[in-house]
Structure formats: C-alpha cells, structure tokens
Amino acid sequence: MEHLFTHAALWLGLAVISAIIAYHLRLSIALVEICVGVAAAALVGYIGNTGLLASDEEWFRFLASSGAVLLTFLAGAELEPEAIRTKWKEVSFVGIIGFFAPFAGCTAIARYVLNWDISASLLCGVALSTTSMAVVYSVLLETGLNATDFGKGILAACFINDLGTVIALGLLFSPFTYKTVIFISVSVLVLALLPFISHRLTRKYAFRTAAIRTKWVIFVLFALGSLALWSGSEAVLPAYLVGMVLAEFSSNDTLWIRRLRTLTVGFLTPFYFLRAGTFVSIPALLMAPLVFLFLLGGKVMSKIFGLYPIVGRFHRRRDERWYYTLLMSTGLTFGTIAALYGLTHGIITQVQYSFLVAVVIASAVAPTAIAGIAFLPRHLVPAVEQRYEAVPYEADAGDEG
C-alpha cells in the first residue's frame, strides 16, 4: 500500500508543477500536463528507473480512464439539445469534413510517402482523423467559452468528428458481432430512461443523502463504459452521450456540476494527461524525425485546408475561424485508442505505434497552444466574474445530492 501512495503523490506533485507552469506561461493546464508527462518519461528513461512512474499499473490506468470518462461526460453536459438543433448544419459539416480530410490525407501519406502497407495506412488515417474532446473541453473550460454558443458548436463538431472515427475503426477492423448489438440496444434503452430516473432520484433523495446524484451518474458512466469495453468499443463514447442526455438535468444545479468538475479536473484528469505524455518515445522520434513531421503535418494541414473554408461559412471573424479550426486539429483520446488497437491486433508495428502516438500528442499541444496565444476570440470570452462566481462557504460545505 505504501508504494501506491508514493506513486500517487509523485503524479499529483507533477500536476501541481504543471499548474504553476501553466499559470506563468498562460497556457492550458491540459497541454502543460502532457508536456510534463513527456519530460518525466524522458528523465526516468535517462536515469534507467522505468518502474518509478508506474504508469502501466492497473490502478493508474483506471484513474486515467476514469478521468477521460468523466471529462467527456462534462463536455457532453455542456451541450443543450436546443443549441445543437440551431447549429446542426455547422456541426454536421465541420464534424464530417473534420473526419474525412485527415483520414484521406494521412492514409495517403502513410501509403505512398512512408510505404506502409494498406492496413497500417488505413489505421494511421483513422488514428489521425480524430479531434480531442478532452483537450478541447479543458481549453474551453479555462476560458469560459464552453458556456457560449461558439464553444458549444466546437464541442458538438468534435463529437461528430470522433463518432466518424469510431465508426470507421469498427467498419474497417472490428467485426460486427452480437456484442455490438447488445451494447447498442442497452445503451439506447438506458439513455431513453436516464433523464426520467435521474429527475425522480433527485426529487426524492437529493439533499437528504450524501451526493446521490454524483454516485448515480458515475455508476451509469462506469456501467455503460464496462459494457462498451466488453463489446469492443470504448468507455468514453457512451460517456459523451450520457452527458448530452443529462445536459438539462445538469444545468438545473450549477453548484453540483461545479463540484463534479472540481473532482474531475482537480484529481482524475491529471493522471490522464500526464500519462498520455509518457507515451512519447523521444529516442524513436530522434531516429526518424521526418516520419514524425510528415505525419504531424499531414494531420494538421489536412484539417486546416479541409476545415478553414467550411468554418468560414459560419464564422466571419478571422480569429474565430482560426481558433475553431485549430482546436478541431487536436487529437488525443480516440487517436491513442485507435493506435493501441492497431498495435494489440497486429495491424501496426511497435515503431509505427510510437510515431502515431507521438503525432497524436503533438497535435494536442501545438494547435491549441497556437490557438490560445494568437487567435483567442477575446470578444467572446465571458468576464472573469461570470466564469467564476463566488460560492458561499456554507453551501460548499453542506451535503448535496
């Protein structure tokens, strides 16, 4: 037990260092945590103590996955159905092009420039077609844009983009089995009943028992996540759908959602983002930097050339168009998931996997850093007092449902 607390303290210490760096550099905490994870892995590799970080232990993977699931739920909870309905053309076009442009571009680069075989090339296209819901939501949350129509449009487009990635991965490489049918059927039933049950639980038990809403939501997320993994899908996919279905339920109590956000961002997501950084193999990149640059350029440039004209049809201001496009150029969660799927199923080699993961993580850092520094649409950012309303101590200390 002692070593568990030691490792947890080490990682949370890195999270504190990341927060301090992010504050002084005025960068997103998620991006800094990824970079600190890269640096920590490189340092551990240099001193030769590969077990120091314990990033592959089961408990650590669970905490990191839990962070991704809850962060994805929170992203979905920010999307009111009405906002999606009013922006359906925008999010559909941006999401679909955001998937197909890098899928085609990166598949072609892997096949005809890097001479990968056709299966590895298609897997490369799938892995690099994603956009990172976790990173985008974290960035929007820090600026307050998550609560604006502009930010909600970006999040909805991210979902459409990643949905295309999940479908492509399943159609190209995963057989459609009875498990898939069970997962879809159970998910549809749960999502249909979830708002009604959640409202009944809240009306009857909220403020009478300790944090029943939080327990209920996390139970549903973990149950559907378990079913998704059993069926060959990923736990974060139903989490986003649960967030969307419970968007109205969540918006009824901003104090509750703020507490859940504090738990997620303050404790769980640092494990996720820091661990993502440890996947990058610096020696592998140094041995063949052109492969890395070709793939990174293919992902980001195909996103930009595909999306910038489309985004321009809905947003006229230059800063809004570039900010939107660059955030859609990110990648992390589904990209690493697709790469790991390819590795474990023998579709790609260990070296190819290292390049894909490095590119996915670099795409989470570079576009968002540029977007935040050069193209942040400050006219849309809510005032600080609107983003961080003071919460009375008595309310924060009391029981809640």
Q: Is the pLDDT of residue 188 over 90?
A: yes
Band of residue 49 on the pLDDT scale cut at 50, 70, 90: low
Closest by Cα among 239, 205, 187 to 72:
239
CA angle, residues 31, 133, 305, in degrees to nearest 5: 85
Check residue 83 and give its pLDDT. 66
Band of residue 128 on the pLDDT scale cut at 50, 70, 90: very high
Residue range 345-365: mean pLDDT, rounded: 87
Which CATH code of 1.20.1530.20, 3.90.870.10, 1.20.120.1630, 1.10.1130.10 fits the domain covering 56-130+145-391? 1.20.1530.20
Check residue 394 and give its pLDDT. 35
Tokens (6 digits) for 243: 């967030």
In sequence order, what E strands does 99-248 have?
none
Q: Is the pLDDT of residue 51 over 50?
A: yes
Q: Is the pLDDT of residue 163 over 80?
A: yes
Each residue of 243-255: pLDDT tens digit?
A: 888 887 887 777 8
Task: Write down how long the chain is.
Answer: 401
Tokens (6 digits) for 277: 């950084």
Each residue of 72-127: pLDDT tens digit?
A: 888 778 776 666 778 889 999 999 999 999 999 999 999 999 999 999 999 999 99
User: CA 130, CA 303: separation in Å to the nearest integer?
Assistant: 10
Each residue of 286-315: pLDDT tens digit?
A: 888 899 999 999 999 999 999 999 999 999
Each residue of 8-29: pLDDT tens digit?
A: 888 899 999 999 998 888 777 8
Spatial CB neighbours of 157, under 8 Å, sequence gap ≥ 6: 90, 91, 94, 95, 98, 131, 328
282-287-289-290 Cα dihedral, nearest 10 degrees: -160
User: CA 369, CA 397: separation in Å to the nearest integer?
Assistant: 36
Tokens (6 digits) for 388: 């961080």
Residue range 145-159: mean pLDDT, rounded: 88
Closest by Cα among 244, 228, 79, 103 to 164:
103
CA angle, residues 366, 342, 160, in degrees to nearest 5: 55
Closest by Cα among 337, 158, 134 to 232:
337
User: CA 78, CA 251: separation in Å to the nearest integer?
Assistant: 8
CA angle, residues 368, 371, 373, in degrees to nearest 5: 105
